[in-house]
Amino acid sequence: MNKNSKGNIIYLSKIIIPIIVVIGLFFGGIGVGIISFDPPSKNVNKGLIKISIEIDFSDEIKYVGDMSLENSTGFDILTELENQEIIDIETTYWESFGGNSVDSITYQGIKYEGDLNHYWAFYINGQASMEGADKVYLNDNDIVKWKFEKF
């Protein structure tokens, strides 16, 4: 093998080997079940689930209720309450996060809007959620709380 062809093989291997490794990892992922083609089920418990809801508007005004629904996230609770004309919500979709933030909730004619000092916090079963409400899928008997909090 002359020096030139050896150099060509080394050159091509620098491109081909990483591509083979990536393809190998992809098919390996499919093999062990890390990668799949079936969409994930939103809920651990399939079918109708019952959720307790509290929206705390901070100045001793609260909405408390419950709801039965299927296949929903913490964010879906707000849109469902809006459909029932109990509240109005304003949200922003952030492309960079792939998720929604809650800008304001209007209840009994008063608008509770996030600003430099206030924001809408999402709690699930008494714990501040570690991620956006539209990423948290609900299960039977979950307690969902939205609270208008100060920074």
Q: Name the one residue in this structure whose structure tokens are 């809650």.
A: 102
The backbone torsions φ and ψ at residue 62, rounded to the nearest 5 degrees and listed phi first, read: -135, 150
Integer Rg of the chain from CA = 24
- Contacting residue, 24, 28, 29, 65, with another protein by CB under 8 A: 29
- Contacting residue, 21, 94, 111, 140, with another protein by CB under 8 A: 94
Q: Compute the least distance from the CB of residue 14 to another protein, in Å.
A: 4
Q: Does 115 bind another protein (CB under 8 A)?
A: no
Between CA 139 and CA 49 the distance in angstroms is 6
Stretch that binds another protein, among 36-44, 57-65, 102-110, 139-147 (CB under 8 A): 36-44
Between CA 55 and CA 112 the distance in angstroms is 11
Total residues in contact with another protein, by rule CB under 8 A = 22
- Contacting residue, 52, 82, 113, 135, with another protein by CB under 8 A: 135
Between CA 52 and CA 68 the distance in angstroms is 9
- Contacting residue, 59, 60, 85, 95, with another protein by CB under 8 A: 95
Distance of CA 71 to the CA centre of its chain: 13
In the complex, the residues that contact another protein under the rule CB under 8 A are: 11, 14-15, 29, 33-40, 94-98, 128, 130-132, 135
